[in-house]
Amino acid sequence: MSGVKIIGLLCNWCSYAGADMAGTARMKQPAALRVVRLPCTGRVNPLLVLKAFQEGADGVLVSGCHPGDCHYNEGNYYARRRLELLAAMLPALGIEPERFRYTWVSASEGARWTEVVEEFTGRVEALGPRDGGAA
């Protein structure tokens, strides 16, 4: 047990369904992950990510529909712009950029979801828990 806490912000229509599919298929998923189900990644305000870090998350993973597949047409395009800016700001806020990732996983990609979350969890575990205080 690593002791790290990871928050996953998942859009309902693609990534949450993909994670659900992985669970239904009994694919192993790291216990460190806590999933928050959102209507769309377009709803992810970067401040929500920073708040997760402030409240004790060691890593934050945002995942939604692939570009072109957003249930609300453009939500993930807005998300991509905002989250790129956030990623660029993290070092200045004292947060290692490796603790944050955004990606796209569709409802049929349960296996890909498992790979993404395992890779990210491994990366955060290698960094260890955050000291806190930043952001």
Q: Minimum Å distance from CB 93 to ligand FES?
A: 25
3 state SS for the chain: CCCCCEEEEEECCCHHHHHHHHHHCCCCCCCCEEEEEECCHHHCCHHHHHHHHHCCCCEEEEEECCCCCCCCCCHHHHHHHHHHHHHHHHHHHCCCHHHEEEEECCCCCHHHHHHHHHHHHHHHHHHCCCCCCCC
By CB under 6 A, name the binding residues for ligand FES.
11, 13-14, 40-42, 64-65, 70-72, 75-76
Q: Minimum Å distance from CB 6 to ligand FES?
A: 19
Q: Minimum Å distance from CB 108 to ligand FES?
A: 13
| Pick 20 or 96: Cβ nearer ligand FES | 20
Nearest to 2 by CA among 135, 127, 132, 133: 127
Distance CA 87, CA 9 (A): 15
| Pick 68 or 97: Cβ nearer ligand FES | 68
| Pick 40 or 95: Cβ nearer ligand FES | 40
| Pick 62 or 135: Cβ nearer ligand FES | 62
Q: Minimum Å distance from CB 99 to ligand FES?
A: 22
Q: Minimum Å distance from CB 91 to ligand FES?
A: 26
| Pick 32 or 86: Cβ nearer ligand FES | 86
